[in-house]
Amino acid sequence: MQYSEKVMEYFMNPKNMGEIEEASGVGVVGNAKCGDIMKIYLDIDDDGIIKDAKFKTFGCGAAVATSSISTELIIGKSVEEAMGVTNKAVAEALDGLPPVKMHCSLLAEDAIHAALWDYSQKKGITIDGLEPPDDDHDHHHDLDDDDDE
């Protein structure tokens, strides 16, 4: 399996790894099939701008890389702009992912949405297009039959 140089860079030197104390929103998603677990923390100001984002991920190199780049894609963005960060945008930001690793970009998108959902619930607000996360945290992630990761 061939990873892009950017995937390897973000895996070996992840950006924004860690936790945010008293985060505005926290999202946790996982893929039972491969064992990846992704947790995203958001610090959102009173104007709805994401001032900081951090992550903790247990998983393969692609899961770490997609977590890391997804935080970079949303820092400085409005909540509405963060809603527009798709798994495709995450994969493209990493110069692509092997097909059997695309589920990692879906996890990153889902983790962002889960953190935004948590934020919206704490604030009592509605974010257009945002739906509650699945309780089993394993939707969309049956795209391949590869049990390696």
Residues known to be catalytic: 34, 104
For residue 54, give the H/E element and its range.
strand 50-58
Tokens of 127: 């974010």
Rounded to whole angstroms, the Cα distance separating 97 from 119 reads 29
Rounded to whole angstroms, the Cα distance separating 6 from 20 reads 25
Rounded to whole angstroms, the Cα distance separating 86 from 92 reads 10
